[in-house]
Amino acid sequence: MDQVEVFKALSNKKRLEILAWLKEPEKHFPRQECGEFAKTGVCVGHIQQKSGLTQSTVSEYLSLLQRADLLIATRLGQWTHYKRNEEAIKKLGLHIQDEL
């Protein structure tokens, strides 16, 4: 885990909101036809729509969170779905608790 990359990824209010929404996707996003939230995550289009940001901004934010290992991407046809990397988030919490 690259701490600097992780904290950079977390240093934006909208990216923090996206992580919070993805914690309980069934509560924050409409039902999707392709892929289950628990298995594949949430389609980028739903995340973009909820955020109110442009597609390019959302893609950049999701890519940054993925590079920080906080999200897992799954490709289904032409669509990319994202879900939280709960193992990495748990490690981050333990790291903060133990080291910082």
pLDDT digits (tens, 9 = 90+) for 21-37: 999 999 999 888 777 88
Measure the CA–CA gap between 7 and 46, rounded to whole angstroms.
25
In degrees rounded to 5, what are phi and psi of residue 39?
-90, -50
Of 55-59, 65-69, 74-78, the poorest mean pLDDT is in 74-78
pTM of the model: 0.91
Please report the beta strands in the chain, taking only residues with DSSP state E, as ranges in sequence order.
Answer: 42-43, 71-76, 79-84
Classify domain 3-99 by CATH architecture. Orthogonal Bundle (1.10)
Mean pLDDT across the stretch 60-77?
A: 96
Burial pattern 37-46, b for ≥16 Cβ within 10 A else e, equals beebbbbbeb
Q: pLDDT category, 2, cuts 50, 70, 90?
A: confident
Per-domain residue ranges for the chain? Answer: 3-99
Beta-carbon count within 10 A of 17 CB: 14
